């Protein structure tokens, strides 16, 4: 899905944040699967990695199913004109005017 040109920076920032959070969660889950099989010498067993990588297709299928439901709930894009959003840039500023409010 595309975003309006004036919100490209916000979309890029959210994309980077979500990717970082996903990578952190993925590393934590993989670590929690591998670490319980640590040998006395401190090295993990191969079975921990096997179980961790076996979980990946299951997670990918679950993500695909979730994406299918999310995409099914999206609304069709509406035509936005300058008359309806006189100050769209304020919608991305935390203390700015909400979209649709007339401050001037």
Rounded average pLDDT per 10-residue block, the chain, 104 residues? 79 91 92 85 86 90 88 58 55 52 51
Tell me, what's the pLDDT at 37? Answer: 76
Q: What is the CA radius of gyration of the chain?
A: 22
Instruction: Compute the distance between CA of residue 8 and CA of residue 3 in angstroms, rounded to an integer.
Output: 6
Q: Where are the domains positioned within the chain?
A: 5-73, 77-104
Tell me, what's the pLDDT at 47? Answer: 87
Tell me, what's the pLDDT at 39? Answer: 81
- pTM of the prediction? 0.55
CA distances from 104 to 6, 32, 96 (A): 20, 54, 13
Tell me, what's the pLDDT at 76? Answer: 54
Tell me, what's the pLDDT at 23? Answer: 92
């Amino acid at each position: 899905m595309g975003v309006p040109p004036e919100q490209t920076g916000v979309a890029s920032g959210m994309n980077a944040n979500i990717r970082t959070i996903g990578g952190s969660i993925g590393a934590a889950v993989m670590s929690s699967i591998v670490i319980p099989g640590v040998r006395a010498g401190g090295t993990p067993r191969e079975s921990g990695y096997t179980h961790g990588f076996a979980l990946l297709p299951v997670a990918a299928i679950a993500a695909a199913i979730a994406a299918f439901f999310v995409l099914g709930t999206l609304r069709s894009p509406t035509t936005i004109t300058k008359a309806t959003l006189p100050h769209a840039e304020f919608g991305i500023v935390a203390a700015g005017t909400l979209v649709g409010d007339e401050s001037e």
